[in-house]
Amino acid sequence: MSEYMQKWERIREKGKLNYMVSQSLLSGLVCFLTLLLFSVLFNTPLTVGLFIYQSIFLGVVLSVTSWITNEKRYKKHKQK
């Protein structure tokens, strides 16, 4: 089994909720910092509330998408 599949098995064992929360927070933080950086670089008004909302939304979407993609890859690999 590939190293990736072994890593994904360990992640799966911790559970979907744990993965979703940790990945949402990480992705959300990256999104928030990126939006903040663009706001400063392009001298646009700073709307922290909107940035937080967008970051949470994008974090959740990215974590769900990542889980689904990894599960499909894992199940396909297990069938071989």
> What ranges do the domains of the chain cover?
11-79
Contact 71, 9 (CB under 8 A): no
Residue length of the chain: 80
Rounded-to-integer distance, Cα 35 and Cα 23, Å: 18
Rounded-to-integer distance, Cα 74 and Cα 10, Å: 12
Q: pLDDT grade, residue 2 (50/70/90)?
A: confident
Nearest to 27 by CA among 70, 75, 67, 72: 67
Q: pLDDT grade, residue 44 (50/70/90)?
A: confident
Rounded-to-integer distance, Cα 58 and Cα 42, Å: 21
Share above pLDDT 70 across residues of the chain, in percent, rounded to a whole number: 100
